């Protein structure tokens, strides 16, 4: 049974966490929030942005603030699945040789999959099981990953040569996709100041434990949401499907596939986590709105016409939101 003290403690913990990250990461409050939402929802997050925006630093800071085990995988075209999940190696112990499992970097609490779209689809798919089921199967043996577990991937949207777009099955496993935008003038000044003076960037001390995060996850799951808001979420997701009666004309014209049921789950859970981070005890319409685009933007698959005309998924989602909000 969740008590008021539990709720207060959990919200206070995440407020501290957010503050400590903000001391390192400048101008990316929304991105940090999405990372925390994914953590609370037992999800993964995909950061998209040009190089040098601090995506990797953000993930390292988050891991440091949480006091969790962190690992980083730099995806390259020649990276093999075994390089990620690990492999059985022949070892000699007490004069006997046997195969033992050498765990890959995926065995951590916070995994940074840097430039994930540079690896081949086969290697990318090696993360699928870890991201969805929190398990890794090597050979005949399945290993359970330690909770809390989160994969934070980054990808570069402009340098497409030699990259492999993520397969739909994998991209659907990311709870949110957050766009890391270029920092503002003030943020840029602060960044240069923090990185070029004094001792440089200092990663924060841990402000939360794994247990705190697991408790917070329970609270988030228990957060009430009105039935009419659930229905609203379902209508929103259905509206991204071109064949749906709820979808606006633009979706019917430019979208090949809409959001999956995971999208609806992501919306509800994301909204709950968003409300929790705001210290609310119930989901509001604005919580749904806050996570609507990050939860659906990577789940819309444009058709040929949409691709040819350069239609943005954000534009389509705006249309869906506006049309569904009024019904």
Partner 1 sequence: MQFNFSRFLLNIEHRDRRFRGLSLACRLLFYGSLASITAILVLRWLIPSLNRGTLLLAFLIPAFLASAAFILGWWKRPDLPRLLLNLDDELKSGARISSLYEERLRGHDSFFRKRLERLVEPLAADWKRGLRLPRHTLRFLSAGLSGILIAGILLFVPLPFPQAASMVAPAQSETSATQGVRSTAPDREGSAASDDTAVALETHEQVPDSSSDPSDEDPLPLSPNEELSLESVLEELSSLSRGQAQVTAPTTSDELLNLANVQDQAKQALSDMLQDLQEQMEGSPRPLTQEESAGIQELAAQTGDSSLEQATRDLTEETDPAEMDEKMQDLIDEMDPSASDPGAVPETNDDTEDGSSQDAPRSTEISGDEEAGQKFLEQTAQRMEEQANAESQQEGQTQQAASQTDQDESKEPGEAGAAEARMAGEPDDLAQVGGEDGLGGNPSDGPQPGDVGFIQEEAPSTIGEEGDFVDEFVTKGVPIEMVPLQNGGSTRFVNFEQMDSILQGRDLPEEAQASIRRYFELITQPEGGS
| Pick 187 or 222: Cβ nearer partner 1 | 222
Crossing angle between the packed helical segments 261-277 and 285-296, to the nearest 10 degrees: 130
Contact 60, 112 (CB under 8 A): yes
Of 265, 147, 146, 151, residue with least CA distance to 214: 147
| Pick 36 or 229: Cβ nearer partner 1 | 229
Binding site for partner 1 (CB under 8 A): 1-4, 6-7, 222-229, 231-232, 280-286
Q: How far is the CB of 222 from partner 1 (least distance, A)?
A: 7
The helix/strand/coil state of 106 is coil
| Pick 155 or 324: Cβ nearer partner 1 | 324
User: Quick one: which H or E segment has residue 46?
Assistant: strand 45-48
| Pick 116 or 283: Cβ nearer partner 1 | 283
Number of C-beta neighbours around residue 176 at 10 A:
26
Q: How far is the CB of 235 from partner 1 (least distance, A)?
A: 12
Q: How far is the CB of 240 from partner 1 (least distance, A)?
A: 22
| Pick 238 or 311: Cβ nearer partner 1 | 238
| Pick 174 or 232: Cβ nearer partner 1 | 232
Whole-angstrom Cα Rg for the chain: 21
Q: How far is the CB of 228 from partner 1 (least distance, A)?
A: 4
Q: How far is the CB of 251 from partner 1 (least distance, A)?
A: 24
Place of tokens 């691709």: 307
Q: How far is the CB of 7 from partner 1 (least distance, A)?
A: 6
Contact 77, 118 (CB under 8 A): yes
Of 37, 321, 319, residue with least CA distance to 175: 37
Contact 180, 31 (CB under 8 A): yes
């Amino acid at each position: 049974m969740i008590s008021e003290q539990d709720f207060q403690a959990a919200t206070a913990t995440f407020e501290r966490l957010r503050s400590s990250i903000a001391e390192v990461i400048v101008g990316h409050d929304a991105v940090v929030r999405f990372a925390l939402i994914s953590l609370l929802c037992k999800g993964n997050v995909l950061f998209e942005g040009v190089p040098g925006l601090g995506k990797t630093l953000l993930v390292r800071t988050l891991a440091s603030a949480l006091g969790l085990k962190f690992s980083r995988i730099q995806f390259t075209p020649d990276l093999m699945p075994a390089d990620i999940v690990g492999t059985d190696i022949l070892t000699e112990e007490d004069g006997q040789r046997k195969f033992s499992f050498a765990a890959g970097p995926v065995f951590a609490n916070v995994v940074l999959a840097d430039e994930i779209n540079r690896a081949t689809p086969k290697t990318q798919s090696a993360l699928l099981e870890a991201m969805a089921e929190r398990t890794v199967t090597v050979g005949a043996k399945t290993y359970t990953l330690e909770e809390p577990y989160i994969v934070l991937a980054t990808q570069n949207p402009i340098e497409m040569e030699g990259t492999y777009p993520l397969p739909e099955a994998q991209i659907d496993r990311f709870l949110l996709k957050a766009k890391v935008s270029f920092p503002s003038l003030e943020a840029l000044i602060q960044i240069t100041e923090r990185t070029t003076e004094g001792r440089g960037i200092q990663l924060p001390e841990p402000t939360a434990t794994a247990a705190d995060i697991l408790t917070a996850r329970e609270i988030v799951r228990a957060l009430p949401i009105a039935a009419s808001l659930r229905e609203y979420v379902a209508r929103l997701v259905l509206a991204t499907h071109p064949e749906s009666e709820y979808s606006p004309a633009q979706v019917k014209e430019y979208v090949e596939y809409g959001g999956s049921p995971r999208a609806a789950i992501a919306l509800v859970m994301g909204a709950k986590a968003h409300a929790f981070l705001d210290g609310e005890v119930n989901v509001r319409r604005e919580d749904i709105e806050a996570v609507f685009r990050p939860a659906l933007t990577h789940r819309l698959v444009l058709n040929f016409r949409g691709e040819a005309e350069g239609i943005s998924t954000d534009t389509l989602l705006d249309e869906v939101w506006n049309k569904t909000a009024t019904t």
